Amino acid sequence: MHARTDDGNTGDGNTGAGQDGESPGSCKRVLEPAEVRRVLTRIAHEILERTHGADDILLLGIPTRGVPLAQRLAGRAAEFEGRPVPWGSLDVTMYRDDLRLRPARALGRTELPVDGIDGKTIVIVDDVLYSGRTVRAALDALTDLGRPRSVQLAVLVDRGHRELPIRADYVGKNLPTSQRETVRVHLAETDGEDAVLLGEWKGALA
Amino acid sequence: MNRHLIAAADLSRDDALLILDTAEELARMSDRPIKKLPTLRGRTVVNLFFEDSTRTRISFEAAAKRLSADVINFSAKGSSVAKGESLKDTALTLEAMGADAVVIRHDASGAPHRLAGWIRGHVINAGDGMHEHPTQALLDAFTIRRRLGGGRSGAGGLDGVRVTIVGDVLHSRVARSNIALLNILGAGVTLVAPPTLLPIAVDGWSCEVSYDLDAVLPKSDVIMMLRVQRERMTAAYFPSVREYSRRYGLDAGRMAMLPEHAIVMHPGPMNRGVEIAAEVADSPRSTIVEQVANGVSVRMAVLYLLLGGAELTGEPR
Amino acid sequence: MNRAADTWLIRKATLPSGQSTDLLLHDGVIAETGTRLAAAGAQVLDADGLIALPGLVDLHTHLREPGREDAETIGTGTRAAALGGYTAVHAMANTEPVADTAGVVEQVWRLGREAGHCDVQPVGAVTLGLGGTRLAELGAMADSAARVRVFSDDGHCVSDPLLMRRALEYVKAFDGVIAQHAQEPRLTEGAQMNEGAVSGRLGLAGWPAVAEEAIIARDCLLAAHVGSALHVCHVSTAGSVEIIRWAKSKGWRVTAEVTPHHLLLTDELAESYDPIYKVNPPLRTATDIEGLRAGLADGTIDCVATDHAPHPSEAKDTEWADAAFGMTGLEVALRAVQQAMVETGLLDWAGVADRMSVRPAAIGRLGGHGILPAAGGPANLTLYDPAAAPEPVDPAAHASKSRNSPFRGVALPGHVVATFLRGTATVLDGKATS
């Protein structure tokens, strides 16, 4: 059990291109730090708009990079509304359908407000939307945690190639990719700077 | 980490911390309304118990079921084993039934080693003779970390923690596993026991040895009391239960000699009035009930880490 | 099998003394020695580079027959012995039924003669049924056709000091010897392996050295007191060697043996929990090995004895505590002794001949064996190639019915090329002749 932290931000933890062991070749910067900032500001506005001022809203980031994204979105929304907007984290490792394809992973943390998720509008926040399997796992995890009023999805990048009937409510950037390409999200909190990188996948399958 | 969990002594510090950290996350999930996780759906865990140990078996069973594994309980009583079937034949039968993991409790030291050579599934040692009981040591370390953890409770190793283990070290698999794991995690271990109940080569172990409980108590962050079996008296390990209790039992007076923050542990089942007085066992310093609850989280972590990921390829050892 | 008429001319063999010679075997004896011998019609064996040892004698073999023919028979056990270079073995008494009557020892003796691979000299039990309470009919066994001289409850210790005294005294009447399995029973209840650092770590009940040494010391004193002969089986500790050295220095009639496995293997092998390494007395430590080798080299320990203890696979394919004690040894003993004693410079080949043939034959009061190759002597010979490249031991290829060799996979030097029993080849070219 060579457990590892699942922070490859490859979107959905899908198997295939863009996994563990990858060694991106030439990388293209798709979003610069200022663009990431602008995109998050826009998503925060959209969330407030769609949820009518964020009453009973809860932003839940999926570890690793969904968590700082949820925190930032909550921070911006709180700025605009002038009151705190709750956020937390939702680890979905134990609900994944691809556990047996890789060595066991270390668990991320699930942090929920003390009053739980019942009756709330949950916005799941992740960095990359790819196959949709991570979101499927997140929906299952939420079901075990309570009964939200509704569940929405916000992602920084949607790179396509869905394998499940799932779509995002808020998308930072639609990024058409080939399955041979990798999408890496860097965030200041985890990687030192904000950026989205598109690269050729050169590594062997893990 | 290895394919099996047979001995705490086989763990690296990283392995041990991974198990404890995973258990920590799983413990946080255990107060949710729905405790069950879908992670091990379709996997079969066999509890193969050659000794009666209801508490350990139930703990493993609860852990496996919370991870949605199918659990088969195989107890030696009334089984083919009672009819003389060998461990190897039993193992091959379980293998044929598709056991992904076998949790084994056996009175023979080394039985899990042997089992691991015969089956392809994962072997988890739930106590073998006088050898090891690694999940007990892990849950003890987990409990110590939660109670005494350094900067952030429930994280990191146990560096600098002073643990005193008192009692029948000679016959205790719990002591062997704890000494190994506590060393791995950086804790300092002192053994206190009558000389008859210490292994002959204990001076080669990486721990201190003392025959004087009172002298050690003020220097202990954790005091771990081992169960003393009354049968030992007939084999002349000590003259009488009363004398044992007087010299090596933990009563309220001795508990008062412990530092303010120190905790009292016992792997159970306890002999109240022998190695531990009732008022000590029931005091807020005692972690005995917590240890039981933590046992489920730690065993979930072990099952998840061994069974939750890809099957490692390779021959059985 | 009567091939006494065979005539063999063995060319250019090296005697234990180092001298090279031809040997003419005829009519069961060594008819002639010298260089460039010729004999019309003789079968010729080129022994250039081979050592001609007197046929090896094992003081301690478990042949299992009667009773446990699933583990070994006198036929398979003696074939294994011949392949190991032995021309005589002492068959231990712990059979079913126990060899505690003239009837059983005669049966074993007769079966050995019929098997023909080597001579089988039965050992009689000291106490009835190995029970440790009443003497067996030692005199009847001594007077039987088997002419028993060595008595042993091997596997059990004659722990009652009074009974041991009486046994030692009683066998003086017919020049017998009591071979003691030295194991204080109370100190070894439930014991699984050597008591020490490894047993403490593995959680296996310890068999302390003192449990052997205390009995040896007591028995030496008893033997001295009654003026009788004591033989100590399978000495396993450095402390035992010290005690025996002291007893011998007093001039007491004490002899001792050591097994090949105790000369080479340590208790650390138990780390695998593989009961192939479970034996009684247990494998000890490197310090003990050193003491045993020194004792064998200086003659404190008189001989190497195999304690060949075959067991069927189900007795070993199990958890340690459940497994049987014992290891096979006949087929690798000489190679193991070369590794432990010759390669280390502790014994030369004359020493090997002494410790593996001459002395064990003397202790066993065995006529016709243990005689250095010389004209007129019995044609009991082992031709051994010490320069054969080390080969890993493969128990599956052994003639013994059992596979429980602790040397499995261990590369040992040397090769038994041929064994002659009274002039008849029992082994030729490393293979049994029948």
CATH number at residue C417: 2.30.40.10
Does residue B127 sit in helix, strand or coil? strand
* B168 touches C at CB < 8 Å: no
Stated as kind and residue range, the H or E segment containing B225 is strand B222-225
Average pLDDT over residues B141-165: 84
CB–CB of A160/A177 below 8 Å? yes
Q: At what angle do helices A33-50 and A66-81 cross, to 10 degrees?
A: 60
B58 and B125: one domain?
Answer: yes
Residues B299 and B268 in one domain: no
Length of chain A, please?
Answer: 206
* Identity of the residue in B86, B109, B130 whose CB atom sits nearest the CB atom of C314: B86
- Residue C400 sits in which domain range? 7-51+377-432
What is the Cα–Cα distance from B3 to B22, expressed in whole angstroms?
17
* pLDDT given at position A3: 45
CB pair distance less than 8 Å for B304 and A146: no
For C302-323, how does the pLDDT look when each residue is reduced to its tens digit (9 = 90+)? 999 999 999 999 999 999 999 9
What is the residue range of B238's domain? Answer: 134-287
- Subunits next to B (3 or more Cβ pairs <8 Å) are A, C
| Same domain, yes or no: B32 and B73 | yes
- Do B81 and B216 lie in one domain? The reply is no
DSSP classification of residue B314: S
For residue B199, which residues of chain C lie inside 8 Å, CB to CB? 199-200, 206
Q: What is the ipTM of this complex?
A: 0.91
> Of B4, B43, B44, B56, which residue is the catalytic one?
B56
Question: Is residue B14 over pLDDT 80?
Answer: yes
- C-alpha to C-alpha distance for C125 and C141, rounded to whole angstroms: 9
End-to-end CA distance of chain A: 14
**CATH code for position C287:** 3.20.20.140
Residues B83 and B224 in one domain: no
d(CA B115, CA C402): 23
Domains of chain A by residue range: 34-100+107-179
In chain B, alpha helices (H): 13-29, 54-66, 87-96, 111-118, 134-148, 173-184, 213-216, 231-234, 241-248, 252-255, 278-281, 288-307
Task: Report the residue of chain B nearest C315, measured CA to CA.
Answer: B86
For chain A, the average pLDDT equals 86
pLDDT at A22 over 90: no
Query: CB-based contact (8 Å) between C317 and chain B?
Result: yes
The span from the CA of C267 to the CA of C273, in Å, is: 11
Contact A107 B18 (CB under 8 A): no
State the smallest CA–CA distance between residue A34 and chain B in angstroms: 35
Residue B140, in any domain of the structure:
yes
Task: Say if C205 is an interface residue toward chain B (CB within 8 Å).
Answer: yes
CB contact (8 A) between residue B311 and residue A100: yes
User: Between B4 and A6, whose confidence is greater?
Assistant: B4
List chain B residues with CB under 8 Å of A1. Answer: 1, 15, 18, 305-306, 308-309
Which chains have 3+ CB pairs within 8 A of A?
Answer: B
Indicate whether C47 and C168 sit together in one domain.
no
Distance between C180 CA and the closest CA of chain B, angstroms: 27
Q: Let me know if B83 is exposed, middle or buried by CB neighbors in 10 A (0-12, 13-18, 19+).
A: exposed
The predicted pLDDT at position B59 comes to 96
Which residue type occupies A191?
D
d(CA B251, CA A51): 61
pLDDT by residue (tens digit) across A45-87? 999 999 887 789 999 999 999 999 999 999 999 999 999 999 9
Same domain, C303 and C245: yes
pLDDT at C39: 87
Q: Does B128 touch chain C (CB under 8 A)?
A: yes
| Per-residue confidence in pLDDT tens, chain C, 434 aa | 444 458 999 999 999 999 999 999 999 999 999 999 988 889 999 999 999 999 999 999 999 999 999 999 999 999 999 999 999 999 999 999 999 999 999 999 999 999 889 999 999 999 999 999 999 999 999 999 999 999 999 999 999 999 999 999 999 999 999 999 999 999 999 999 999 999 999 999 999 999 999 999 999 999 999 999 999 999 999 999 999 999 999 999 999 999 999 999 999 999 999 999 999 999 999 999 999 999 999 999 999 999 999 999 999 999 999 999 999 999 999 999 999 999 999 999 999 999 999 999 999 999 999 999 999 999 999 999 999 999 999 999 999 999 999 999 999 999 999 999 999 999 999 999 98
Model confidence at A17, pLDDT cuts 50, 70, 90, reads very low
- Contact assignment for C322 to B200 by CB distance below 8 Å: no
Distance CA C63, CA B286 (A): 60
Task: Report the gap between the CA of A95 and the closest CA in chain B (Å).
Answer: 6
Inform me whether the C-beta atom of residue B184 falls under 8 Å from chain A C-beta atoms.
Answer: no
3-state secondary structure B60-90: HHHHHHHCCCEEEEEECCCCCCCCCCCHHHH
For residue A94, the chain B residues in CB contact (below 8 A) are 37-39, 67, 304, 308
Question: Chain B contact for A3, CB < 8 A?
Answer: yes
The residues, ordered by sequence, that sit 6+ positions from C162 with a Cβ below 8 Å of its Cβ are none
Query: Who has greater pLDDT, A123 or B236?
Result: A123
In the prediction, which pLDDT does A105 show? 85
Domain end residue (candidates: C330, C363, C396): C363
Q: Which residue of chain C has the CA closest to B87?
A: C318
Q: Indicate whether C388 and C288 sit together in one domain.
A: no
Q: Which residue has the tokens 């003239």?
A: C102
- Kindly list the residues from chain B whose CB atom is less than 8 angstroms away from the CB atom of residue A147: none
Out of A101, A107, A144, closest to residue B22 by CB: A107
Q: Does one domain contain both B215 and B172?
A: yes
Is residue B314 one of the residues assigned to a domain? no
Pairwise CB contact (< 8 Å): A94 & B38: yes
- Scanning C15-54 for CB atoms below 8 A from B yields none
Checking if the pLDDT of A206 tops 70, the result is no
- Asked if B45 and B72 count as a contact pair (C-beta separation under 8 A), the reply is yes
For residues C416 and C428, what is the distance between their CA atoms, to the nearest angstrom? 9
CATH domain A34-100+107-179 topology? Rossmann fold (3.40.50)
Residue C396: burial class (beta carbons within 10 Å; 0-12, 13-18, 19+): exposed
Which residues have a Cβ under 8 Å from the Cβ of B242 and sit 6 or more positions away?
Answer: none
Q: Cβ(B202)–Cβ(B170) under 8 Å?
A: no
Contacts of C314 in chain B (CB under 8 A): 86
- The residues of C assigned a catalytic role are 307
Q: How confident is the model at residue B74 (pLDDT cuts 50, 70, 90)?
A: confident
Provide the token pair at A108.
């991320």
Task: Please check whether residue B34 touches C, CB under 8 A.
Answer: no
Mutation choice for B interface testing from C187, C194, C201 by most B CBs within 10 A: C201
Q: Can you give the three-state secondary structure of A9-42, one letter per residue? A: CCCCCCCCCCCCCCCCCCEEEEECHHHHHHHHHH
In terms of domains, do B105 and B77 share one? Answer: yes
Four-residue CA torsion sign, B138, B140, B141, B142: positive
| Chain A nearest C-alpha distance from B22 (Å) | 6
Percent of chain B with pLDDT over 70: 94
Q: Give the per-residue pLDDT at A49.
A: 93
Q: Answer whether residue B153 shows pLDDT above 90.
A: no
Angle at B304 between CA B299 and CA B305, to 5 degrees: 100
pLDDT above 60: residue B294: yes
Q: Under an 8 A CB cutoff, do B21 and A2 touch? A: no
First to last CA, chain B: 14
User: Can you read off the two tokens belonging to residue B91?
Assistant: 């193992």
Structural domains in chain C (count):
2
CA torsion angle C186 C188 C190 C196 (round to 10): 140
Report the C-alpha gap between C302 and C233 in whole angstroms: 11
Alpha helices by DSSP H, listed for C250-298, are 260-264, 286-298
Query: How many domains does chain B divide into?
Result: 2
Q: Are residues C149 and C277 in the same domain?
A: yes
pLDDT at B81: 66
Q: CA B261, B267, B270, B271 torsion: positive or negative?
A: negative
Backbone angles phi, psi at A176, to 5 degrees: -65, 130
**Same domain assignment for residues B100 and B224:** no
Shortest CA distance from B117: residue in chain C = C274
Measured between alpha carbons, how far is residue C253 from residues A113, C172, C295 in Å?
88, 12, 17
pLDDT score, position A110: 92
B303 to chain C, minimum CA–CA distance in Å? 24
Please check whether residue B72 touches A, CB under 8 A.
no
Q: Residue C203 is nearest to which of B114, B176, B200, comparing CB atoms?
A: B176
pLDDT at position A12: 52
| Same-domain status, B259 and B144 | yes
Q: Output the CA–CA distances (angstroms, integers) from residue B207 to A39, A44, A164, B175, B187, in the order listed.
A: 58, 57, 56, 12, 10
Give the per-residue pLDDT at B234: 74
Position B156 scores a pLDDT of: 87
Say yes or no: B310 contacts chain A, CB-CB below 8 A. yes
Which residues in chain B are closer than 8 Å to C201, comparing Cβ atoms?
Answer: 9, 176
pLDDT at A5 over 60: no
Q: What is the pLDDT of residues C179-222, one digit of tens each?
A: 999 999 999 999 999 999 999 999 999 999 999 999 999 999 99
- B-chain residues near C322 (CB < 8 A): 87, 108
Chain B contact set for A103 (CB, 8 A): 309-310, 312
Type of residue found at A203:
G
Whether B195 and B81 map to the same domain: the answer is no
Q: A123: alpha, beta or left, given left = phi > 0 and alpha = psi -120 to 50?
A: beta
Largest CA distance in chain B: 56
CB distance B310–A102 less than 8 Å?
A: yes
Taking residues A4-11, report their average pLDDT.
Answer: 46
Helix H or strand E encompassing A59 = strand A57-61
Query: What is the amino acid identity at position C244?
Result: I
Give A-chain residues touching B15 at CB under 8 angstroms.
1
Residues B179 and B236 in one domain: yes
B208-210 and B222-225 beta bridge pairing: unpaired
CB spacing of C321 vs B129 below 8 angstroms: yes
